Structures are given as C-alpha cells and as structure tokens.
C-alpha cells in the first residue's frame, strides 16, 4: 500500500497537536487541495520553539545526508485523526508524496491514504501557520520505474499541471510510484520559479564529469558547456553552436568514484542546459516540468539500462542497415543511381544501400517521382535488389500547398494541417515553395500519413529518410514556423497546444508516423527510418545522423564525440556524413573519415550538390584501396555489430561507447575524443591531418588490450584492440549482407584476461523479420579458459559453447579461433561450431621473439606505406583539406629561428635557439608547439583555423622580422596575432594576441559570446627530470615547480601567479626560456608537464568582447643559455 512519506519537519509547530501537525504540513505541501489552511500569516512562536534555516545559496542541492532544515519535531501519531479525513478524488493525486530521510520509519502509515480535507475540518483561526517561500522548499519526490529512479516536482500543483511525458515509452511509469524499501534519492535538486521559468539546480560531488545532452558539437565531456534544446536547421554548425537538429534534455554524470548518475528534464519545450560550473547541473524551461533522476548506479552500463526502462529501447534494425550506405544530394537520375550501384560491385567495394535525395521527386513534391529522370521507380528498385542493394528515399514533412496534388488534397479532406492561431492552415516555405505541415501529434494525421507511406513503399522502397523535420521553414529568422501556431494533439500527449510546446517532438512524431506506415506496408519486415530531427525517445522509431557537417578536419574530429553523446542519450544508431556534407573533401581527409566512419554504428557517405563526387573511388586508386580495406573490416565485424545491436535492443547499452566505459574510475579516460569502444573492441583513430602514432605512444585503459587487424593494417586506418577477457565473433568479407550465409565460417577473436579467461556472445536471427520477438533466434555464449595439461608444455586454451538462448538451430559450420597473444602474435585453431576446441599455447620466449620480429616488420611496413601516402596526398590544408602545398613562414633574426604555420592555426611550429642548436618547439611534437585558443576548453576555436597573413615584414640590413595574422573564429570574432623578432634583441620573440569583434553581428548589443584568450605553448625538454620552472609570485615569494609524473594541470591564480615573469630551465645544460608578460592581462597561469614536455599557459579573463573592448595578451620569450 502506498504510504505518505515524510518531509514534515519543514513545518515547525508551537503546539504538539497531531491533527494540527498534519493540517499545517498538508496546507503547505498541497496548498491547492487545502485552501482553508493556507491563508494565515507567518508568525513565529513566542516561545521560540521553532526556527527555520533555509539552505545556503552556495549549496543548491541536498544529499541524502543533509541536516534537517528546521529544528522542530512533528508528532507521528497521525492515525488518531483518520476519522477526520475522507478520500474523495483520491486517485488524482494520491501518488504525489515526499519523504524525509530523518523520519525513516513509515510503517505506522501503511494503511493511511491521504485525501482532500473536508471543508468542515479546519483549524482555529488563531492557529499559527509557518509559510515557506517556494524558492526554499524542497521539491516533492516520488520513486518511479525501479529502485534509484525518482521524479521531482516543484510542488504538488506543479506535478498535476505537468504535461504528459513523451520521452517515456510508457508514460504511466512516470506517474505511478513504486514502494521499495530503502529507496531514497542520494541527490535532491533545488527547484525554483522565476516568473514562468522553472529552474532546476543540482550540485554533485567535486570531480564529476558530464556527458550526454544528445546531439551536440564539441568535445565529448560537457563541463563548461551550455546548450539549448531547440531543434534547429543548423547547416554549417561548429563546435560552439548551441542548438542543433535534436533535443535531449538529459545529462549523464560520472562521479569521481566511477558511479553513474543521470538527470532528465522531462519537458518538450525549449530548455537551457547549463554545465558551465564544475559539478553543477542547471536546467531551465518556461513551464513546470518533472525532473527525473537515475541512480547513482555502479556503472555507466547500469545507468543506460535504467534509462532504457523508462524511454524504451530501439527495435532491432534490418541487418542490411548495418552495411555501408552511399548517398548524394543528389543522384539526379535513375540511370546514375544504377551506375553507382554497378560500380560498387565492379570494384568489389562492399555496400548495401543507395539513397535517393529530394531530386527524385516531381517539383519537390513528396510521394511523387520525376517523370523524366525517375520515370519507373519500381524498375529502379528491382534493379537495385538484383544487385543486392536496398533503396532509401527521402520524405520531408512540408507538402506543397497546391490544389490537384493528391497528398495536399487528401490532407485538406482529413483536416491534418498545423494551424495558425486564428484556425487557418499555416503555410510556410520550403523546397516546393508554399507548403503545409501535417500535425503528426494527432492520431488522425498519423494514420493519414501512414497510408501515404504504405502506397509509397509499394514501388519497392526499402527505407525512408525524414529530413527538414525540425521543422525547417525558409525565409524566416527563426528557421522554423511561428511558436504561436496551433497543434491539435491527442489528449494523451497534451492536447491542443502551441508549437512552442511541440516543436522539439515534431520530427520524432513524423518518424513514428513513417515507421508505422512502413510496418503497415510490410507487417513482416522491420522498418528502417532515418530522421534528422528528434527528441529523447525517438530511438524507438528511427536512426539518425549528425546533420549537415562540413568537409573539414574539425568536423571529422567532432564525429566521434557527437555519436558518443547521442548514444549516451539513448540513440545508439548514429554516425556522420562520411567525407563531410558541405564543401569539397580531399583524398587524405576522405581516407581518414572512411576509416573512422566504417567503424561507427551508422556508416553512410553523403555530400551536397555543387561539390566534387565522394564515392570511394572518386579520389584515386590509393583512396579506393583504403576505402575497400575499411569497409572489408566493417563487413568482417558485422556478426559482432549485430550482436551489439541486439544487446542495445535488450538492455539499452549503446553500440558505441566512450573509452571510459572500460574503467569509469580512471579520470584520464574521460576526455578521450579520438577513440571509442565497439563492445570490447577499442578503436583508436587520428581525426586530424597528423600521422598515426606508434603503438608505444598510445594510452590504453588498464588491463590487457591486444592489437589485431585483418591483414589490413595501414597508417590511414584506425588501430583496433581487443580487451582482455573478450571474445568477438567475425565473419567473411561479403559485398552485401544478403551475400552472407548462416553456414559461413565463424571466426572468434579471443583475448584472455589476467586470469586466463574470456567470454563473448554471437546473436543470430533471420535479419529482417520479427520472429526474434517470439524466440526465433540463436544467442550463443562462448567461453575460453587457459588450463594446464600434460599434453601441452605451456598449457592450452579450451574454447566451448557455455550456453545458448532461443529456439533457432545452430547451423552446420566451421568455427575458427584466433587467440591473440601479443603484437601480431596469435595461435589458431578450428573445429565444428558447438564442439569443444583446445589450442596449445606458445612459450614466453617464443612469444617475445615473435613480438620483436613482428614489431620491426610492422614499423618498416608502416613507414613504406606512409612514404607512399605522403607522395600521393602531399601537404593538405588541415581545415579545408585544399590539395595545395602550403609552406610555413620562416622568421629568422639574431639567435632565433621560427617556423609559423598561418594555414594551421597560426601556430609556431618550430622555435630554435641557433647558438646551441636546441629546438624548443618542433612541429612533429604531439602537443603542437605554440597554439592559442579562444576559450577555457583545450583546443577551443582558434587553434586550427586558417589564419590570413595581413602583414609580413622581412629583416633588412639588420632590421626586424614580423608577421601579422588573423583567424576567423566564428560569431563575428577574429583572433589576431602579431609575432615579432625585434631589432634590438638577438634572443627575443615578442607575441601580441587579441580576440577582436569585427562584426556588429558578434552578439547582442555588439557584444560577443563569452571568450577567453588562452595561450598554450608546449616546450620540448631534452632532460625532463632536470628541468624546473622558476618565478617570483605576486605575493613576493620565490616559487619552484618540478616535473611530476601525474601529468596533471596546475592552475595558478591570484597572488600565487608569477609577477610578470617565469622561466623554464634545463639545469643540466643551462638552456632555458624566460616568458615575460603584463600581469594585469593574465588572470590565470597553467602548467602541464607531459612526457618530455611542459606547457606554460597564460589565460586572460573570461568575458564578452566588442569592437571597443578586445581581449589582449602581449608577452615575449627570451631564449637563454646560462
């Protein structure tokens, strides 16, 4: 039986009267239900028996162990007054209750159900009542779904006014409480109201890292970021864009101890998610909304499973959707589509899908086909199917508002359109011109759309792509329709509301309508839908991608964190447009992107009209071969991917996860953006124009990680590592999924853990139908264990089937095993699948010799391939990839020689002290020489943009050398840099840098976004253990910093800062660098020791800038020899 849980200590009383205690408490907890009890003033007992101490503003949340806010005790003998209560209208609010950790024992209320108080039962008029300010009230909370999941509301009236949940697969789970012993929240948010805005603040322990927030650009770790969940057509976005195509008001918090905690603002409205302060989550929206917290749980996997119990899991996709997919805006004719498909087969490059963008339509009208270029879509579909391809076709939401167009006419007949406030059909503008938008929140509209989709699929359509469904509207400042438009939604979703309320879920409901239409057309086939716009929970209906990215290294670099955070927000099936959508890719950029993209859950190449072709063969034979290698890898690993998709379907754990999933307690793994996990496989990539590092330079999670490949190791492809203790199934290379057979040989990759054991799964079904829901599948659990045996000198490993699930029979096939021992060292075996296999192990000496031999051969082969690629690719622009040779700027004066790369972030790539020959900075060094950023975040905008040289002065007759550059960092801002080798000093480099607003459009009132000038020079150390940093602090004390192996950052601020000068000194050689600066321009200094290096950073204050108020740091380096 539901209990009334207790937070009654918040209501101090002057008289120990149980009825009075209950009445006063209920009058403040539920003022809308007890109006007669809420009209008294705010006296305090003359006896001083009661006092109140609201929580400090500096502590915006409460932990489970927070002290009571008030000092009075509430008598617990409420059962004596049961006769004074009755239970009319109980069901509408009985589950809204709060609990007090101080009053743990609720057993005496087991039979007590609260109801509205009879009007006859009121307090004496002289009774004192303590009224709490709403901003200081602890929110009401309710345990829901399962243990450690809680719903918080600002008050009971706010709870009752909250809109229905759309994120939850079963909205009732959000409304119905559960009763589990010892089920109390560890972290309690503070909920305040400012006008119509509800603001939620939750402070978590120091050391917490943030992730999630859905489709967001920038780094994987979200601390320091602020975004707005408001679906926006965001062509050309960058790492600072705050609203993209989707909205996921959800934050994943990894606590310092590795536990995982999640927070969902369950509102469809525009929501601000502010993570700019360390360990603090702040969310704000313009209407009351529930806050749902999950955990903390012991692992991130457990958190994702809990989220999936609320929001649902993705359906199993058709297996062909896991293959490579080729798209273009647009393949302009059916003949061109057939030609592309045929070329894939001729060149033996695996591919499963070709996509049709908007130009297949007649005049951009959905559900039509151009009479001249796509005259027979059924014949085209048949041709694709005969070659083993599937075809996916685009459907936008906006339908041309034209009488005589059947889709528009039937829409008018069924009254399906979104309306203006005066009840007329809203007409906006998109590709066809004037368009009307279906109101997908209405069941009648969804049924109408589903029937259109059913007829559309009849011509052989295999999948549907919903684009432009934020919804995007042309020729508007907001890029969408007016927020005052009206939706006539189903009551279960909130009924008649403005577009402001439903904007963020519009694309999700179109995807749902399309999914239902495809299922209506083919009830026995799994639908495939791709949607651009989405809301948390949309994974139940569709896959997604990262939108209209750019063909540059920045967007390649963002591909990984964007997919990771989508996965951590429930959407596992995602990936980027491989090669970049907007702009021309280059051979090197495309090759790197293909290698990375082929390992991501959704692998599709796509590019826009007006750009060069981006099929795998479009960049020459070398890139074609690399693309073939990359896609062969993917197809070999399809059994593993398909098994992971089944795991996602059943548990909610993403297919692609951050590296820290391997060890959530290791904080060094939490900001890794260039690697990811595909189950137990770690994929190490290089999403930059730099060369691939050697194996020795890699930082891997703790434990055993065995490197492997498929005889395709290449410097342009990612490196693959299998976690010790894992077994991964692989298959043969096929040209498309339909070419594979259940009787094909299964090859297990095995890496033993420290105890000599390993385990893993293989999931199989028919790949396309729904039989798996009734048990028509085979899930095999393999195990391997090292054992001692007299027949094998060094022991052997036994591989067996430990268990199975499902009624599907095991095919008669060969099972091969690759037992990974070390670098390219493995032992192999073979048997009939289902039988036990024993493999003899090698001795340690033999393994060591093989590792050394293989490493030498691998290094030589890598150098040979890299040399060939350097010839093929040449020097490429690191941002745009322009295939022209771009030379560094050489500055030389006195004892100093510099190389400046204007085309690569304006960085100083080389700094040489000529008398000693010592190179303090070198371009090949992994920390990048001298760089500058425009924010607190490492390598924020400014570090790799193209800088235009606006002035170049050469030394003449003993004069000076100078270069002035400017780089566009977006938002109307430029980062300007002046590097000078002065005439009057032989050993000095002067640098003056500024962030300047060059456009009135830089921000509101001419002020920009928040920026900070962060100067990041990395100095190479020949003798790291003998190098020190010396300076006099602002407070006058002498300071000395020595190297430490933790490689942590050391922020120095206030009076601890150097007083305008510090130096790095190699005590063995006497060589050093003195850095002088204006202490008034530098708010923070930062030191970071690295392996053989040290960074001495200068940070300005953080603030907006305008044309008249730039941020500037002027400083100099003097190269010394003591």
Task: Supply the residues annotated as catalytic.
Answer: 467, 470, 548
DSSP letter for 1000, please.
G
Two structure tokens written together for 894: 């006195």
Contacts 24+ apart (CB under 8 A), 1081-1084: 1081/1112, 1081/1113, 1081/1114, 1082/1057, 1082/1113, 1083/1053, 1084/1051, 1084/1052, 1084/1053, 1084/1057
In Å, what is the CA distance from 684 to each residue of 556, 687, 695, 700? 14, 10, 10, 9
Ramachandran angles phi, psi of 24, nearest 5°: -65, -45
Q: Is 645 left (phi over 0), alpha (psi -120 to 50) or beta?
A: alpha
Q: Name residue, tokens 């509102």.
A: 267
Q: How many CA atoms lie within 13 A of 358 on its CB side?
A: 16
Cα(210)–Cα(204) distance, integer angstroms: 11
Can you say whether the dihedral through the CA atoms of 514, 516, 521, 526 is positive or negative?
positive
Q: Which residues contact 867 (CB under 8 A, 6 or more apart)?
A: none
In 3-state terms, what secondary structure has residue 627? helix
Phi, psi torsion values for 591, nearest 5 degrees: -60, -45
In Å, what is the CA distance from 653 to each residue of 104, 568, 679, 746?
34, 8, 10, 25
Q: What six digits make up the tokens of 600?
A: 């991501």
Residue 204 DSSP one-character state: -
The Cα-based distances of 620 to 591, 592, 609, 869, 953 in angstroms read: 11, 14, 21, 12, 40
Q: How far is 426 from 419, CA to CA, in rounded Å?
A: 5
Name the DSSP letter for residue 221. Answer: S
Strand bridging mode 353-356 / 325-326:
parallel
Mention every residue, 6+ apart, whose C-beta is less than 8 A from residue 758.
724, 725, 726, 727, 750, 751, 752, 783, 784, 785
Q: Quick check: helix, strand or coil at residue 237? A: coil
The span from the CA of 38 to the CA of 659, in Å, is 54
Q: What DSSP character marks residue 165?
A: P
Backbone angles phi, psi at 621, to 5 degrees: -65, -30
Q: 744: which 2 tokens?
A: 């094909």
CB 903 within 8 A of CB 878: yes
Can you tell me the distance from the alpha carbon of 719 to that of 726, in angstroms, rounded to the nearest whole number?
Answer: 17
Distance of CA 228 to the CA centre of its chain: 15
Dihedral, CA of residue 466, residue 470, residue 471 and residue 472, to nearest 10 = -100
Residues 716, 961: Cα–Cα separation, whole Å: 38
Q: CA-to-CA distance for 669 and 686, rounded, in angstroms?
A: 16
E strand spans, 526-627:
529-531, 534-535, 543-544, 577-578, 604-605
Q: Helices 406-413 and 443-457: crossing angle, nearest 10°?
A: 150
Phi, psi at residue 208, to the nearest 5°? -75, 140
């Amino acid at each position: 039986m539901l209990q009334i849980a207790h937070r009654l200590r918040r209501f101090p009383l002057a008289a120990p009267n149980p009825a009075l205690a209950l009445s006063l408490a209920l009058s403040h907890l539920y003022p809308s239900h007890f109006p007669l009890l809420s009209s008294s003033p705010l006296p305090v007992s003359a006896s001083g028996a009661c006092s109140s101490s609201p929580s400090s503003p500096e502590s915006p949340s409460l932990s489970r162990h927070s002290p009571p806010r008030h000092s009075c005790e509430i008598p617990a003998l409420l059962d004596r007054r049961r006769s004074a209560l009755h239970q009319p209208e109980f069901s509408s609010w009985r589950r809204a209750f709060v609990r007090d950790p101080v009053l743990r024992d609720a057993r005496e209320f087991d039979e007590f159900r609260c109801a509205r108080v009879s009007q006859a039962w009121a307090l004496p008029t002289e009774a004192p009542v303590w009224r709490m300010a709403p901003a200081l009230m602890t929110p009401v909370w309710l345990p829901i779904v399962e243990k450690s999941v809680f719903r918080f509301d600002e008050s009971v009236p706010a709870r009752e006014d909250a809109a229905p949940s759309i994120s939850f697969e079963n909205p009732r789970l959000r409304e119905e409480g559960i009763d589990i012993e010892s089920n109390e929240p560890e972290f309690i948010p503070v909920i305040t109201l400012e006008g119509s805005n509800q603001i939620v603040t939750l402070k978590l322990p120091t050391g917490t890292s943030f992730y999630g927030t859905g489709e967001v650009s920038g780094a994987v770790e979200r601390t320091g970021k602020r975004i707005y969940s408001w679906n926006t057509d965001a062509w050309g976005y960058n790492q600072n864009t705050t609203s993209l195509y989707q909205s996921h008001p959800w934050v994943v918090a990894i606590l310092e101890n590795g536990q995982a905690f999640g927070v969902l603002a369950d509102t469809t409205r525009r929501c601000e998610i502010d993570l700019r302060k360390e360990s603090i989550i702040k969310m704000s929206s313009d209407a009351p909304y529930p806050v749902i917290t999950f955990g903390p749980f012991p692992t991130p996997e457990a958190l994702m499973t809990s989220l999936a119990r609320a929001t649902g899991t993705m359906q199993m996709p058709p297996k062909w959707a896991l293959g490579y997919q080729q798209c273009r805006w647009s393949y302009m004719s059916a003949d061109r589509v057939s030609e592309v498909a045929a070329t894939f087969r001729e060149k033996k490059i695996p591919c499963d899908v070709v996509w049709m963008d908007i130009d297949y339509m007649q005049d951009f009208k959905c559900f039509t086909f151009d009479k001249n270029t796509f005259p027979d879509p059924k014949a085209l579909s048949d041709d694709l199917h005969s070659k083993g391809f599937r075809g996916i076709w685009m459907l936008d939401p906006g339908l041309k508002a034209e009488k005589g167009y059947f889709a528009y006419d039937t829409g008018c007949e069924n009254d399906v359109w979104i309306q203006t406030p005066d009840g007329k059909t809203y007409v906006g503008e998109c590709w066809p011109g004037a368009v009307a938008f279906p109101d997908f929140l209405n069941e009648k509209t969804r049924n109408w759309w589903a029937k259109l989709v059913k007829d559309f699929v009849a011509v052989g359509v295999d999948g549907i792509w919903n684009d432009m469904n934020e919804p995007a509207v042309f020729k508007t400042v907001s890029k969408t329709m007016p927020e005052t438009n009206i939706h006539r939604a189903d009551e279960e979703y909130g009924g008649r509301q403005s577009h402001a309320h439903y904007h963020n879920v519009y694309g999700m409901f179109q995807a749902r309508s399309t999914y239902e239409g495809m299922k209506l057309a083919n009830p026995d086939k799994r639908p495939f839908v791709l949607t651009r716009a989405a809301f948390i929970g949309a994974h139940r209906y569709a896959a997604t991608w990262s939108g209209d990215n750019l063909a540059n290294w920045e967007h390649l670099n963002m591909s990984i964190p964007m997919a990771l955070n989508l996965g951590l927000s429930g959407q596992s099936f995602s990936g980027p447009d491989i090669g970049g959508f907007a702009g021309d890719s280059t051979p090197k950029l495309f090759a790197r992107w293909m290698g990375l993209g082929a390992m991501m859950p959704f692998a599709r190449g796509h590019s826009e009209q007006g750009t060069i072709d981006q099929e795998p063969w479009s960049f020459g034979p070398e890139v074609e071969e690399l693309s073939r290698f990359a896609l062969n890898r993917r197809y070999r690993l399809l059994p593993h991917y398909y098994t992971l998709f089944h795991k996602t379907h059943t548990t909610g754990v993403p297919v692609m996860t951050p590296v820290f999933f391997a060890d959530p307690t290791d904080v060094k793994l939490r900001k890794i953006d260039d690697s990811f996990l595909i189950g137990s496989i770690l994929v190490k990539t290089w999403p930059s124009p730099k060369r691939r590092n050697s194996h020795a330079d890699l930082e891997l999670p703790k434990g055993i990680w065995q490197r492997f490949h498929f005889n395709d190791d290449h410097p342009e492809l990612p490196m693959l590592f299998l976690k010790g203790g894992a077994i991964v199934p692989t298959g043969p290379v096929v040209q498309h999924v339909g070419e594979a057979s259940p009787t094909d040989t299964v090859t297990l990759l095995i890496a033993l853990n420290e105890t000599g054991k390993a385990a893993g799964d293989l999931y199989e079904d028919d790949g396309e139908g729904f039989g798996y829901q009734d048990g028509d599948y085979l899930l095999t659990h393999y195990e391997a264990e090292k054992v001692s045996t007299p027949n094998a000198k060094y022991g052997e490993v036994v591989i067996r089937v430990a268990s199975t699930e499902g009624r599907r029979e095991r095919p008669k096939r060969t099972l091969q095993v690759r037992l990974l021992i070390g670098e390219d060292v493995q032992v192999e075996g073979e048997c009939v699948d289902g039988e036990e296999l024993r493999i003899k192990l090698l001795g340690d000496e033999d393994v060591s010799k093989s590792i050394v031999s293989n490493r030498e051969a691998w290094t030589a082969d890598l150098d040979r391939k890299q040399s060939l690629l350097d010839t093929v690719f040449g020097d490429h622009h690191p941002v745009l990839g322009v295939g022209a040779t771009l030379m560094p700027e050489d500055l030389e004066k006195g004892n100093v020689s510099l190389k400046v790369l204007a085309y690569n972030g304006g960085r100083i790539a080389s700094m040489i002290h000529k008398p000693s020959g010592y190179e303090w900075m070198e371009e090949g060094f992994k920390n990048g020489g001298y760089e500058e950023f425009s924010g607190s975040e490492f390598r924020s905008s400014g570090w790799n943009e193209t800088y235009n040289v606006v002035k170049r002065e050469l030394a003449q007759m003993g004069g000076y050398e100078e270069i002035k550059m400017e780089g566009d960092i977006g938002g109307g801002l430029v980062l300007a840099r002046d590097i000078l080798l002065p005439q009057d000093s032989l050993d000095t480099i002067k640098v003056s840098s500024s962030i300047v607003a060059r456009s009135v459009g830089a921000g509101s009132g001419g002020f920009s976004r928040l920026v900070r000038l962060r100067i990041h020079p990395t100095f190479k150390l020949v003798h790291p253990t003998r190098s020190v940093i010396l300076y006099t602090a602002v407070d006058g004390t002498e300071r000395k910093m020595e190297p430490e192996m933790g490689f942590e950052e050391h922020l120095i601020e206030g009076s601890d800062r150097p007083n305008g000068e510090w130096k790095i000194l190699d005590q063995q050689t006497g060589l050093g660098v003195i850095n002088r600066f204006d202490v008034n321009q530098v708010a923070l200094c930062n030191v970071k020791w690295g392996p053989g290096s040290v960074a001495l950073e200068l940070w300005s204050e953080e603030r907006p800038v305008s044309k008249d108020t730039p941020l500037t740091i002027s400083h100099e380096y003097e190269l010394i020899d003591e």
